[in-house]
Structure 1
Amino acid sequence: GMGADLYESYCGSILASAALGVAAFHEKGEAVQVNALLLPMMLAAAGIILSICGVFLVKTKEDTSQKNLLKALGKGINYSSIGVAVAAYFLANLLLPDNNMLFMSVGVGLLAGWLIGWWTEYSTSDEYAPTQAIAKQAESGPATIIIAGVAEGLYSVWVPIVVIGAAILLAFGFSTEWAFGDDEKFALGLYGVGLGAVGMLSTLGLTLATDAYGPIADNAGGNAQMAELEPIVRERTDALDSLGNTTAATGKGFAIGSAALTALALLAAYVEEVRVGYDRWAKAEVVDLDDGTVIKLNRRALAVKHGDSAKTYLVMPARKGQGNDDYAAIGKADAKDEVEVDTEALVAMGLLVNNKTATIPDFVQLYDVTIMNPAVLIGMFMGVMLAFVFCAMTMKAVGRAADGMVQEVRRQFAENPGILDGSVKPDYANCVSISTGAAQREMILPSLLGLVVPIVVGLLLGVGGVMGMLAGGLTSGFAVAIFMANAGGAWDNAKKYIEAGNFGGKGSDAHKAGVVGDTVGDPFKDTSGPSLNILIKLMSMVSVVFAGLIVQYALALF
């Protein structure tokens, strides 16, 4: 699950960056555009090689503490990240020498990933105060440990959000040389943000390895207990399992942060796909027209027959007192009508913009993508709603699947009492079948939610509504995902901390409360939290794929 999620972010960030690179350098010729397209791919290739090297740096001693185990894992990631930063410097200078500060955008992404990982470790490891405080609350009962876990989870959101916000600002600034107000460099700034996402994910090999480590250690502990091995074996596997919970939580935090940057890059790629959608529509409409004929596609675009192809012009909103008879004629004409206008004069006045050279701020102005536009505001609410409804669906799915499993276990105990004394072997296969079937069946509705809602919102509210929905889903999904992943990881390690002999140890009332917290935390950290990453990227991907459909067939309500 986490592997597929991170791989989706990995591919999404590379592809979105490549698309933005081509758009950012459209005036510099194909050779530069190809280099901009290659840069994220070369960075990813360097990251793979350096991740393999980093694996060999992870070494530990016998009887080491959890803090030292974390340092050993961190050593591999840190050295690989430094190597990627150095590689980024040389690759940026080689491929795009006129924009060599782009390597700093990659470095910002690497640093952001490291900071999010460090904060997640602090928020969930039982070596630190937050998880120990949750464990202490277990002395008062299950209710207080739930309250403490929710509170720590909510509190843990602030650092990743500040880090991602700062990373976006810095990556944009370095790539544009701090020309924030230059519309012509806007796509270049977003290209820098995309490279930041690629940088963050460049050491994916090591991040996935540390995440996969958790389940391996957990299962080793289960095998040791079932095989009734010596207590020292179980103590060591418990230490490794606790570390595994922290590395898993760190991996989830990393995945959520990278998903946020990837989704932002995909949001920019969506605007580029809107541009492509207009060009395709214009080309289809002018096939049977005479050369030079101008037709109105909709109130936002004109198409001009130009040889075997078409030129597309965006009809920009006119300021008060701006405009002429030609502009008025465009407004009065119906869609698909031919209009006789001087396009060059309207371009000179700023009332028409060539679709090929339009900047992202031009599209923002064209669709009035501001919170004062009802379509955008409704879209934002829909995006926020999606995050919460999706979480509710996945949590309920866990409850239903668990209920089915409990009923099956009770049935087997009732029909075969010998299972309890070991004389009869339980039917494991049926339990696995129930679990697997429920997992697949219960994900149908949440998946449809992420697939259908972006299309419906687009058809009803247009491009502006979709952009609002993507922004709302990204911001709310990012925050809720961090909260759930960190709260779940902290509850799990709080229980482990009690089992290590603190606050009464195993069998105490505090331990029973800790088990309740851990049980609540499992669907938080393993189901709803991580799946939100996939939702925000799925919404973006679906929007990109159906951008042409939305451009052509959306209702003209706003």
Structure 2
Amino acid sequence: MSRHFLAASSAELSGGDYGIVAVIAVVALAALVIGYVLLKEVLAAGQGTSKMQEIAKAVQEGATAYLNRQRKTLVIFGAIVFVLLFALPAEDWNEKIGRSLFFLVGAVFSFAIGYVGMWLATRANLRVAAAAREDSGAREKAMRIAFRTGGAVGMFTVGLGLFGAAVVVLVYAGQAPKVLEGFGFGAALIAMFMRVGGGIFTKAADVGADLVGKVEQNIPEDDPRNAATIADNVGDNVGDCAGMAADLFESYAVTLVAALILGSAAFGASGHGLVFPLIIPAIGVITAVIGVYITKARPGESGLTTINRSFYISAVISAVLSAIAAFVFLPDSFDGNEGNPAVVATVSVIIGIALAAVILKLTGYYTGTEHKPVKDVGKTSETGAATVILSGISVGFESAVYTALVIGSAVFGAYLLGGGVALFAVALAGTGLLTTVGVIVAMDTFGPVSDNAQGIAEMSGDLKEGEGVQILTELDAVGNTTKAITKGIAISTAVLAATALFGSYSDAIKDALATAGSSLGDAPDSFLNAIISPNTLVGVMVGASVVFMFSGLAVNAVSRAAGAVVYEVRRQFRDIPGIMEGTTRPEYGRVVDIVTRDSLRELATPGLLAVFAPIAVGFGLGTGALAGYLAGAIATGTLMAVFLANSGGAWDNAKKLVEDGHHGGKGSEAHSATVIGDTVGDPFKDTAGPAINPLIKVMNLVSLLIAPAIVQFTVGPDASLAVRLIVALVSVAIIVTAIVISKRRGTAIADTPIEAATKA
């Protein structure tokens, strides 16, 4: 039986190209060094009182224990995928080995970024809380520590992403794009697991803590009498810090994969298509350093204004340097296509940077406490929880439409600009957006670090009412908005990367068909015209359905785990004397253990859904249906992710508005209503919504990897309907089994009404 492989990239690197890529690798290493310098600066700050340190240590231990247990689960899954990659077609064994090997490298890098993000954040939160206690310059110092914590993680993110891609190009040259498919797949798969697992952990603890503490017992958010407070603070770090860092790292890797694949096609034998997509992120390293170091709070200026100014300055610098690089490095023409490469590249990169800036502004409008949407949600709290939920859903729906239109406009603008290399232009827009990733990670990490700092101060009781409390309250509110903004930008990177990968999928089908073309007659035309087939529409509907199923599974997992937390916290208030009086310490570790076990048990189902759904569609319905599947998943995923993130962000900040004294303030009925809204929004914005980003990229990469195999068993001498049906049916069986098991699963807590009901 003969085999058909993807045609190899014809791109070759010259001696000068190798030199440039080597310099880029050095720049990547320099980013890691700068990240280490920022890390040491954060750790050098004061650690506050012994009570603060005790609480912080409990958070550190819980977060480390969770990620260590999660790593064991991911190692098993990663080992299976590593082996399966060898079964997929490739040009030669060199490519097969490289693809599988760098799958592991991408996975390890993704987990390492998440782990470092968690490790540093759990130490920085203590230092931010301690800084707020200082007599002079407390606000500026607290903000600097929080932002530079994120800056350190951001530098590690761009450093590892750029270094991994540069090494692959140096070692594999023309085969680099195919090897990088494995690198991107490993990064995306692990990021999705960390997003889902961390999201379930953090929101189960948060929802459980709020429902019992705030609503039932009428005690503050981070009151040490609440047994779920430590788990809540742990969750902020394993969900927001570890999850987002891994998410943006895989966006970095996947966008580079698409840009290098399409760049190789755009420039043919020239190495420009392999080198230029690396130059742009290297420029991003420089601008990230500038963005982090110029972020300094000014007296009387809001923290959000300070952070946004740094973002815009770094974005403008990125645009200027990228334009210079394009006109200096790129040739006068593409390989067989019209257009000036320097002009196309410059405008495409600027489109990506401008997209990030617009998303920042748009998301800030819909989730910021100073703007009308959140104020309107806060106003509805006067009429109860139902109207809070309805108004928040309305904000989410509306913002999703405008955000999708903005992203779509950016994609279409780059597509029109590119002409014959339209998809390469879209990929370059993605690399342009990547130049802001270092600052984006800093903005995102700022949120949970500030949130945890406030929690540590509240639980320790060592920060009395006054300026220190106001500082941490302000930083927490700013952090809520920056987290929402970075989620909007993250979904933008996902859409650009997925769109470019969508084009790479088309090229993969063409290459596979061309390889077997001598025996196919006019089959390539029939394959490429499959867009008009009803199968394609079915694929679109299935792709959209998978996004809904994935989101439903994530929210349901949070609901089950949060229910267990509610029963456990209630039990401790009821059965352990002295908790409410503050004379007895709650059993924090039991809640941490509950959400750890529940979140880790939920990892397999979304992973299996993301991997096997495109396999089932591709082998069962064909390449045209799989193209439709990807289109449906990208479109629906964009709308769903933005809706979930922005509605959740609006609910969260509406609660902050009430807690600041509006509409009755803390303890009022309006406050209880916004707490309910916030608990609904928690799994929206921090579990299901963010996990959609890596989901759509995982599905695109799986489709790209299996495309040659689908063609192989569809046409030519190896064609076999039986093989295709067997693969499709087995994939469907795996998905159905995983979902059924997930739906029937109880919770990690024993002997509670919720588990009894689930088993019944």
Q: TM-score, normalised by structure 2?
A: 0.59
Q: Matches of residues 51-450 of structure 1 in structure 2 within 5 Å? A: 51-62=288-299, 64=300, 68-98=302-332, 99-101=341-343, 102-176=345-419, 185=420, 188-228=421-461, 229-232=463-466, 233-278=468-513, 301-303=517-519, 315-316=521-522, 366-370=527-531, 372-450=532-610
For residues 389-430 of structure 1, what are the alpha-carbon distances to aligned partners after superposition, in whole Å with 9 as ceiling and x for unaligned?
111000000011112222333344444323333333233223
Q: Deviations over 1:275-322 (max 9, x none)?
A: 44446xx5xxxxxxxxxxxxxx5xxx325xxxxxxxxxx6436xxxxx
Report the CA distance between 1:268 and its aligned residue: 1.1
List per-residue Cα deviations over 1:162-189 (Å, max 9, x = no partner). Answer: 211211122123333xxxxxxxx1xx11
- For 2:294, the aligned partner's letter is L
Q: CA deviation at 1:39?
A: 0.8
CA distance in structure 2 between the partners assigned to 1:541 and 1:499 by the alignment: 44
Deviations 1:188-209 (A, max 9, x none): 1100000001111211010000
Counterpart amino acid of residue 423 in structure 2: L
Give me the whole-angstrom Cα distance separating, in 2, the residues matched to 1:451 and 1:407: 35
Deviations 1:124-155, CA, capped at 9 Å, x for gaps: 00100000000000100001111100011101
Q: Give me the whole-angstrom Cα distance separating, in 2, the residues matched to 1:76 and 1:53.
A: 8
Distance 2:317 2:530 in 1: 40
CA contact (8 A) 1:315 1:366 kept: no
Structure 2 residue identity aligned to 1:117: L
Q: Does 1:457 align with 2:699?
A: no
Q: CA deviation at 1:435?
A: 1.4
Question: Which residue of structure 2 lines up, in the alignment, with residue 42 of structure 1?
Answer: 279
Report deviation, 1:443. Answer: 2.4
Shift of residue 36, structure 1, vs aligned partner: 1.3
Query: Which residue number in structure 1 is paired with residue 263 of structure 2?
Result: 21
Does the 8 A contact of 1:316 with 1:366 survive in 2?
no
Deviation digits for residues 39-89 of structure 1 (CA, Å, limit 9, x no counterpart): 111101110111111111111134x35xx3222111211111111111211
Unaligned runs of 5+ in 1: 177-184, 283-296, 304-313, 318-362
Larger mean CA deviation between 90-99 and 241-250 belongs to 90-99
CA distance in 2, matches of 1:268, 1:173: 14
Aligned equivalents of 2:530, 2:571: Cα separation in 1 = 57
Amino acid at match of 1:477: G
Match of 1:327?
none
Task: Indicate if the aligned counterparts of 2:542 and 2:632 stay in contact, CA closer than 8 A.
Answer: yes
Does the aligned pair in 2 maintain the 1:116–1:159 contact within 8 Å?
A: no
Question: Is the 2:540–2:629 Cα contact (8 Å) retained in structure 1?
Answer: yes
Q: Distance in 1 between matches of 2:361 and 2:454?
A: 26
**Shift of the alpha carbon at 1:237?**
1.2
Q: Counterpart of 1:168 in 2: which secondary structure?
A: helix
What per-residue deviation string (whole Å, max 9, x for no partner) do you get for residues 239-272 of structure 1?
1111100000000000011101110011111123
User: Partner letter of residue 507 of structure 2?
Assistant: E
Amino acid aligned to 1:242: A
CA distance in 1, matches of 2:548, 2:509: 28
Q: Distance in 2 between matches of 1:369 and 1:258?
A: 28
Spell out the pairing of 1:541-552 with structure 2 (5 A cutoff).
541-552=701-712
Q: Distance in 2 between matches of 1:457 and 1:127?
A: 46
Structure 1 residue 466 displacement after superposition: 0.8
For 1:111 and 1:84, the matched residues in 2 are separated by 11
Change in CA separation of 1:217 and 1:467 when aligned onto 2, cut-off 3 Å? same
Single out whichever of 427-436 and 511-520 deviates more from structure 2: 427-436
Q: Distance in 1 between matches of 2:579 and 2:709?
A: 59
Task: Find the aligned partners of 1:508 and 1:494 in 2 and give their Cα distance.
Answer: 14
Aligned-residue CA RMSD (Å): 1.9
Pairing partner for 1:508 from 668, 679, 702: 668
User: What is the CA-CA distance between 1:12 and the residue it aligns to?
Assistant: 0.6
The DSSP-based 3-state class of the residue aligned with 2:294 is coil
Cα contact 1:36–1:96 (8 A) shared by 2: no
Aligned pair partner of 2:642 in 473, 476, 482: 482
Where structure 2 has 5 or more consecutive residues not aligned to the other structure, the ranges are 1-242, 333-340, 715-719, 726-760
Alignment coverage as a number of residue pairs: 465
- Contact in 2 for aligned 1:131/1:491 (Cα 8 Å): yes
Query: For structure 1, which segment, 188-197 or 82-91, has the greater mean C-alpha deviation from structure 2 after superposition?
Result: 82-91
Aligned equivalents of 2:671 and 2:289: distance in 1? 40
Q: SS at 1:425's partner residue?
A: coil
Between the aligned partners of 2:530 and 2:495, the Cα distance in structure 1 is 20
Contact in 2 for aligned 1:488/1:524 (Cα 8 Å): yes
Q: 1:6 aligns with which of 245, 248, 258?
A: 248
Helix, strand or coil: the match of 1:126? coil
Matched residue, 2:105: none
Report percent identity of matched pairs: 39
CA apart distance, 1:158: 2.2
Moved more, 107-116 or 548-557: 548-557
Q: TM-score normalised to the size of structure 1?
A: 0.80
Q: Please report how far the alpha carbon of residue 541 of structure 1 lies from its aligned counterpart in structure 2 after TM superposition.
A: 1.1
What is aligned with 1:359? none
